[in-house]
Every structure is written in C-alpha cells, then in structure tokens.
Chain A
Amino acid sequence: MNLSKLLKNAFLILVASVVLTACSTQKKTTSGQMQGDVYTGSDSVEYLASGVPDRVFFATNETVLTTASRETLRKQAAWLRKNSDINVVLEGHADERGTREYNLALGERRANSAKDYLMTYGISSDRISVLSYGKEKPVDSGSNPLAWSKNRRSVTVKAN
C-alpha cells in the first residue's frame, strides 16, 4: 500500500517536471518576439520614415501603452512635428479571439490611447483621426499567440 503511494507520488513529480520543462521550452521559442504576450519583433512593422516605426502593439484585452510603444510614439510625434503638413489616421486593431462588436470598441480605444499620447507630445488633435477595424484586418492569418500579438496593434497611416 505504502509502496504504491510512494510510486504514485514519484509519478506525479515526474509528470509535473515534464509539464514544467514543456512550459519553459515553449517560452523560449517565442521570447525572441514577444514579451508577456505583447509583440516585440519587427516582422510586420513598416516605417513612416527612417527609424520611425508605424505601429505599436498591445497585450490581450489591454489598451495600455507599453514602454516600447511610448518610445515609438515619441518618435512618431517628433516626425510629425517636423512634417507639419502631414495628417495621420490611427487604425486600431484587435486579434481574432474576441467577439466582433467588442473588438470594434477595443480597436477604437487602442487607437485613441495612441492618439492621446501623440497629443501630449504636442500633436494637434486636428491632425489625427481614428479608425477602428476591430478584428477585420489581421496582418497575420495564423491562429496562434504570436500571430495574435502582431494583430493587436495601432497603426499610424499617412492620411494625405
């Protein structure tokens, strides 16, 4: 009886360690392009000008700007100050893991948090319009965490 209990426990520990290694290897494969579940790679990123990325990425269900996003937006603001004749549209997007209507609202909120940040760096709201596509325009058609992280984004597009 005791022996079987002991064996059972040993087995459980073995299972747990296998699961744990599985987790850690999984993290390693994506850590190059994601931090938490925010995309940090540059696969889908385009540039408004040299050194000025056009997009920022969000965590699942979040609209808060990350440190990297704020840095990107500061570069965009500097570029917009230098090019005062250019207006922009901020296109807000969500991943496919949400209901359509809620994601439309979420995309709008994401684009607006980028807009608010640009405004605090001196860009007039007259120069910025906001357009939410919800989950309608993914850049990556994959059904996996990395693809979803690329799709949760706000993209700054020249309007003229």
Chain B
Amino acid sequence: MQEKCWKDKMLFRYLFILLVLLPVKVFALIEVDITRGNLNPLPVAISPLAIDKDSKENFKKILKKKNLGSEISKIVENNLKQSGLFNPLNKDAFLQKPDIANLKPRFEDWNLIKAQALVTGKVTFVDEKLRVEFRLWDVLAGKEMMALAFTTVPSNWRRVGHIITDKVYERLTGEKGYFDTRIIYISEEGPKTNRIKKLAIMDQDGFNNKFLTLGNELVLTPRFSPTNQMVTYLSYFRNLPRVYLLDIETGMQEVVGDFPGMTFAPRFSPDGKKIIMSFAKDGNSDIYTMDLENRIVERISNHPSIDTSPSYSPDGKYITFNSDRSGYQQIYTMKSNGKNVKRISFGNGLYGTPVWSPRGDLIAFTKLHKGKFYIGVMRTDGTGERLLTENFYQEAPSWSPNGRVLIFYRETKTNTKGEGFSAKLWSIDLTGYNERMVKTQTDASDPSWSSLLSN
C-alpha cells in the first residue's frame, strides 16, 4: 500500500515538478480508520517548515509573508483539523527546532507530547522558485514514512500546503485526499425577495475566492467537470434560462445547445465529454444529453412527469435522477440509454437531488419529511438509507473527489417579519460526524467540489 505513493506519477498539470527524495520502504504502522466516525482523532505534530534567512527575506518581498515556512505548515494543520480525523497539536509544546527536527527528529520529545505522527520540512528560495521538501515520521516506531520535495512558482504556496496534506492523508488513511481542490458555488447577497447571485470559486479551505459573474443575471447550480477546468451552470441571461458551459481558465462561455425552452439541472458525464440536463417544454421536463464534441443531442427519458436532477454513475453506465411519476418526488435509476427505469427511494417523505458517489457505491440525496430537510445516503439499489443531518432547510449535496465528505447548503428560517435569512455552505463526513460550516465571503449556495487539481 505504501508503495502506491511512489508509483503515482506526480505529473502536475500546471506548474509542479515533483521529485521523490527518499523512497524508503516501511511498514504502515499508523493506520487511521476512516470508515467509522472518528471520535478519537490521531494526534499529529506539524512542525513549522524550516526556512533560512535569505529565503525568508525573498519570500517576504514577493508574497508579503513574514515566514512562509510556518504559513504553509498552518495550511496543513488547518486541513488536517478540518478533516476531523486528525488532531494537530499545539506548537507551543514543541521542544525541537524546525530545522533540526527535519534532519533527525528526537522521537522521545515528540512522544512526550503524545504525537503519533510528525510532519517536518524545509522551504527554500531557488532560482526565483519555491522549493519545498517535507517528511512524515512515525513517532512511536521512530521511522520515516514518506519524504517528498517539489518546486513551483512562489504564488502557488497555498497549493503546496494542500498537496502536502493530500500526501499525508493518503499515507495515513490509505485513501486519496481532497485538499488540493476547489469549490464552485453561488455567492448570494441582498434581501430574499431580490437576491443578487454570482458565480464564485474558491479553494476548498475558502481562500483565493473569485467572482466569475457580475450578478447582472440570475445564475444557479454550477457543477465542475470531473476531468478538467470546465464548469456547467444555469444562467438567466436575457431572461432565457439555459445551460451554459464555462472554461474557468480562459473565461470563455457558451450556451449548451439550442433548445426551444428552458434547460436546467446540468452535470457532466464522468469522462467530461457530455452534459446531461433537463429540458422543460409545455409543462414537461425530460432528461437529455448533449455531446460536447459533435453537439449531438439525445433524449434519455420520455415521460409526462417531471424528470430532473440527473447524475451519472462514475463508470457512466447508469444515471440516477429525480422524478414525480409516482405522484411525488422520488429517486430513480436507469441505464444511460434511458432503459430499465427503477424507483429506489421508498422511505417516508419526498426525495430529491440524487448524486452518485465517485466511489460508485452510494447515492447522496436531499429528503423532505414532516417539514424537515435531511441530507442522506443510500446504496444504489435504494437499501441502507442513512440520514446524516437534519435541518429547517438544506439541500444539494456534492461529493468530495474521494467520496468521503459531502458539501451542501443550508438556509435559515426567517422570523415573522421575514427577516434573518441566510444561506451557508456546510460539510459533513459520510459517517455523519464532523459537521462544519464552510467559511465564505458572502452567503452561499449550490456548492460543487472539483476533482484533485494534481494527481
């Protein structure tokens, strides 16, 4: 298992060059079980990354950061803490200096503060670039578990912190991380009756927020492509609600298809080559796909009821969707050609927004029952329904790329005067533990998680 890290081709699509420093074969001594709720997070020590005087001065000039080494370690620390699986220890208790710890940790010292894993490292300024090396140590066994180094442009320093977290997470849990990722969402401002909505994007930890539209037209339900930096969303540009495609690298956008009516509820196919969506005409919504290369439109469902919120299985062979053909909103699955339609939700209440897990085994959904909204998961045949969280209003779960965490949005109830409305992003572990509000600059809704930027 531990060899997987070294075998992975660290080909960073953009700016990263990754070098494997010391591929050491060791036995996985620390194991974090992520399949159950973790009430006992693993104590880890994140030693500030060591930095020499010259490098410090250079980065201070370029990035306006006093000590880039400790800034990067703060990102790692925060990510690990947010995951709920780790408990980063207070730095005040650290006995060993960062530079010495990185060379050869005195394990007794780290053992004394009950750290089970230790992250050390070094930051240097080389040829106008940022070079970072880091090591992960097993404190109890007194062994190095991993050592990596990479070089990038200094402005990418936050991503360095996320990539280190992904590597540490993967090494300790045996599963890919989800930290070097972004969230596309809808930023909201203004009163409920006159809400201004903008397309916005940020890093998974809320930093580097950027607005992608100005708020002149209503925009809704952005979704990331699982393969590249494309986003599909619904825009009311010129009061014509249509599905759009946006390249977030270039800013280019276009309407998807020329449908004689409203298109909505778009998502990408797992290979990123098709958009699946609803098309509403004459009071009936059905599911269609459009091939982005040859622009061929295919009708997938054909039923007088409302068919919407389609989502592909990760192998592209099946589709889950929302339909009220039974009289009320329920969740269905079908083959990707529209055949073999099966209802899978049979619990009490209404079900909506089904999303297939990237691992393939579960479907996340929103459930409405007795005036409460729930986010839950069920197996793809509808069995094993598990409700993760209950509230006045919440919906639209989106999976982290490793299928371990769900992000969704929650709205508050207004008072009798209609005041006190807010919409925020929240995340929760698949286990139902570790529910957290995700900080955003403005009110926010409709989050969609990107895949890992580096893999």
Give A residues with C-beta under 8 Å from B: 61, 63, 96-102, 104-106, 108-109, 111-113, 116, 130-133, 136-144, 147
- Taking a contact as CB atoms under 8 Å apart, the answer to whether A102 and B283 are in contact is no
CA distance A147 to B414 in the complex (A): 11
Task: Tell me the smallest distance from the CB of B354 to a CB of chain A, in Å.
Answer: 10
- Taking a contact as CB atoms under 8 Å apart, the answer to whether B414 and A131 are in contact is no
Known contacts A98-B352, A136-B220, A138-B192; is A105 also within 8 Å of B396 by CB?
no
Known contacts A61-B328, A99-B366, A141-B191; is A105 also within 8 Å of B446 by CB?
no
Known contacts A105-B278, A131-B239; is A98 also within 8 Å of B192 by CB?
no
Residue of chain B at shortest CB distance from A91: B239
Looking at A63, A98, A105, A140, the one whose CB has the most chain B CB atoms below 10 A away is A105
- Taking a contact as CB atoms under 8 Å apart, the answer to whether B283 and A113 are in contact is yes
- Taking a contact as CB atoms under 8 Å apart, the answer to whether A136 and B218 are in contact is yes
B368 contacts A by Cβ under 8 Å: yes
- Taking a contact as CB atoms under 8 Å apart, the answer to whether B395 and A105 are in contact is no
CA distance A32 to B246 in the complex (A): 49
B25 contacts A by Cβ under 8 Å: no
Task: Tell me the smallest distance from the CB of B232 to a CB of chain A, in Å.
Answer: 13
22 contacts across the A-B interface (CB closer than 8 A) = A97-B368, A97-B371, A99-B352, A99-B395, A101-B264, A101-B278, A101-B309, A101-B352, A101-B353, A102-B308, A102-B329, A104-B308, A106-B306, A108-B280, A112-B282, A130-B261, A132-B262, A136-B220, A137-B193, A138-B192, A140-B193, A141-B191
- Taking a contact as CB atoms under 8 Å apart, the answer to whether A104 and B352 are in contact is no
CA distance A38 to B283 in the complex (A): 20
Known contacts A138-B193, A140-B193, A140-B418; is A101 also within 8 Å of B413 by CB?
no
- Taking a contact as CB atoms under 8 Å apart, the answer to whether A143 and B413 are in contact is yes
New A-B pairs, 9, CB < 8 Å, besides A96-B393, A141-B418? A99-B352, A99-B395, A101-B221, A101-B352, A105-B306, A112-B283, A136-B195, A136-B220, A141-B421
- Taking a contact as CB atoms under 8 Å apart, the answer to whether A105 and B192 are in contact is no
Task: Tell me the smallest distance from the CB of A149 to a CB of chain B, in Å.
Answer: 14
- Taking a contact as CB atoms under 8 Å apart, the answer to whether B241 and A98 are in contact is no
Contacts of B285 in A (CB 8 A): 105, 108-109
Contacts of B193 in A (CB 8 A): 137-141
B265 contacts A by Cβ under 8 Å: yes
Task: Tell me the smallest distance from the CB of B77 to a CB of chain A, in Å.
Answer: 36
For the complex of A and B, the 9 pairs showing the least CB-CB separation, nearest first, are A112-B283, A141-B418, A99-B352, A141-B192, A105-B285, A143-B413, A105-B306, A101-B265, A108-B280
Contacts of B329 in A (CB 8 A): 98-99, 102
